[in-house]
Amino acid sequence: MAEIRSLDELQTPDSTTLVFTPHGLGSKMPAEKSAEYLQLLIAGCVLDPDVAQNTRREFARLQRLFAYGVLEYDIFTVVDDRALLVMEQALRERFVQWCAGTITFEDANGSEPAAVEDVHTYDDVLAAVKRLSRRRRRASPRWQLKVGSTLIDFNGMFAGLRTWAREAGLLRGQRTRGIEHALTHLRNAVAHPVGYQRTTPVATARTLHDLAEFINQLWGCPTPGGRLYPAPVERDIVVMAWNDEGNIHMAQADALRDDTGAEGFVYLLIRSVFRPEGGLQDAHWAAFDTRFETTQFPTDYLWGPGSRSDALAWLKEQQPTGDTVDYIDRVFLLREHDGQLYPPMRPDVAAGLLPEEQSGTWHSVRADFPEHAFAHVRELNSTPRTHARTGDCICPAHHLSSGTHEEVMRTAEAVVGTMTPRRPPAVQTPDTFLWPHRF
């Protein structure tokens, strides 16, 4: 017979939970402080108002249950497991909204006309998939879901929904694509458990944050500072300065107005992500190059290099302002020539190259960061059977094409649209540790 506990026992804080503190594992916190700490851990998990009502209710329930982990440590595991299932619920609700009443399946073999199905709930979707599956056994059609101008395999399950969301442009980011794949396996493990496990409150809190990002992105709302689906980042006007002794500095452009008496420095003005007080700074800022994408986030050249007085004069005359920029799913072009792979370039800069700079084999790659695009192309040569030369790769990159400069430019233009060739002045900082080879 199961143990029957009194109300007082049910209300007794779990001693295991109490040792999780804001400073890591330690001495037990008072129960009141632990309850407050748990709620603060997920206080930033807020869903966009446009999210479907049932998904919002499920998420709110998980948030409420999480706080009760102060009384029962195993609640964290229950919440963590349930969160993975709510991902599928969110996908289903968003799919029904996207359908707007009908879905279209086409025969990839071309033996039958398109099948248009009326759907108002996800049960209708599953029923339509089942009907077409029975028709497939009697004949030879290969039914695929039409998403825009593309056809995809779709069986209505979690993996199929994830593929649909990607193709429909609701989920984005090449790094996150691999994370989504891992979440599919985790969801399947929850749906078909084979063992016993326990999850910590910290891990469960991160799962809830990831779930909030996932749901918000499905409804077109990226997360500022997000781990999975970050919103565009803010860029400011930034000054870089270096001297012949190897010293290099970066600061907000306003720092130019402070007469520090520094001698022998050369100054450069750029538009860059630089907010160290908020924890956001380009990790590769010191490798800036006007022609190559050598920084972590998109960085734009403005003026220089030159003296401090000339930089101040340019700022006063031009009065440039900051902006926001999306760095997810960028298109990079990379050149291979004479056994050397060069850093990625923006398509419009590659379009402005002189004829003698266009020789060699070129690659167009979609990635979130330039180092991911570079590593992908590098690995194509060293482990060609592992990395894909077409489409999604196992690494955080999507290979668009390879070929001549002209062929790759056509591919890039088909993705990013018509572009104006640009040839910026050849300016780079002295730092060449990360990207030593350039042309």
The pLDDT tens digits for 331-381 are 999 999 999 999 999 999 999 999 999 999 999 999 999 999 999 999 998
The reported pLDDT for the residue numbered 196 is 84
Q: Among 132-141, 246-255, 427-436, which range has the highest average pLDDT?
A: 246-255
Tokens of 109: 């073999």
The reported pLDDT for the residue numbered 138 is 52
- Residue for token digits 């270096």? 242
197 vs 127, higher pLDDT: 127
Whole-number average pLDDT of the chain: 92
Q: Which residues contact 323 (CB under 8 A, 6 or more apart)?
A: 234, 235, 271
As a whole number, mean pLDDT of residues 254-272 equals 85
Weakest-pLDDT range from 111-120, 189-198, 365-374: 189-198
Report d(CA 438, CA 353) in Å as an integer.
13
**pLDDT of 430 strictly over 90:** no
Tokens of 198: 């326990």
The reported pLDDT for the residue numbered 137 is 53
**pLDDT of 313 strictly over 90:** yes
389 vs 138, higher pLDDT: 389
Count of other CB atoms within 10 angstroms of residue 392? 16
**pTM greater than 0.85 (yes/no):** yes
The alpha carbons of the chain give a radius of gyration, in whole angstroms, of: 27
Q: Which residue type occupies 256?
A: L
Give how far the C-alpha of residue 147 lies from the chain's centroid of Cα atoms, to the nearest Å: 22
Report d(CA 98, CA 21) in Å as an integer.
43
**pLDDT of 245 strictly over 60:** yes
- Confidence label for 114 from pLDDT (cuts 50, 70 and 90): very high
Per-residue pLDDT tens digits for 44-103: 999 999 999 999 999 999 999 999 999 999 999 999 999 999 999 999 999 999 999 999
- Confidence label for 261 from pLDDT (cuts 50, 70 and 90): low
Report d(CA 51, CA 218) in Å as an integer.
8
The reported pLDDT for the residue numbered 276 is 81
**pLDDT of 281 strictly over 80:** yes
Q: Are strands 233-242 and 248-252 parallel, antiparallel or unpaired?
A: antiparallel
The reported pLDDT for the residue numbered 381 is 82
As a whole number, mean pLDDT of residues 151-173 equals 95
Strand partners, 105: 115, 145
Report d(CA 184, CA 196) in Å as an integer.
19
Cβ–Cβ < 8 Å for 73, 17: yes
**pLDDT of 139 strictly over 60:** no
Residue 393 to residues 301, 365, 411, Cα–Cα distance (Å): 32, 10, 18
- Confidence label for 135 from pLDDT (cuts 50, 70 and 90): low
**pLDDT of 291 strictly over 60:** yes
Ramachandran category for residue 246: left, alpha or beta (phi over 0 → left; psi -120 to 50 → alpha):
left
Q: Residue 59 burial by CB count (10 A; 0-12/13-18/19+): exposed, middle or buried?
A: buried
Report d(CA 3, CA 328) in Å as an integer.
52
The reported pLDDT for the residue numbered 167 is 95
**pLDDT of 257 strictly over 90:** no
Cβ–Cβ < 8 Å for 201, 39: no
Q: ω before 305 within 30° of 0 (cis)?
A: yes
Total residues belonging to the chain: 439
The reported pLDDT for the residue numbered 223 is 96
Q: Alpha-carbon torsion 401, 404, 408, 410, what sign? A: negative
The reported pLDDT for the residue numbered 436 is 82
- Residue of 175, 289, 295, 287 lying closest to 235 (CA atoms): 295
Per-residue pLDDT tens digits for 39-52: 999 999 999 999 99
The reported pLDDT for the residue numbered 26 is 85
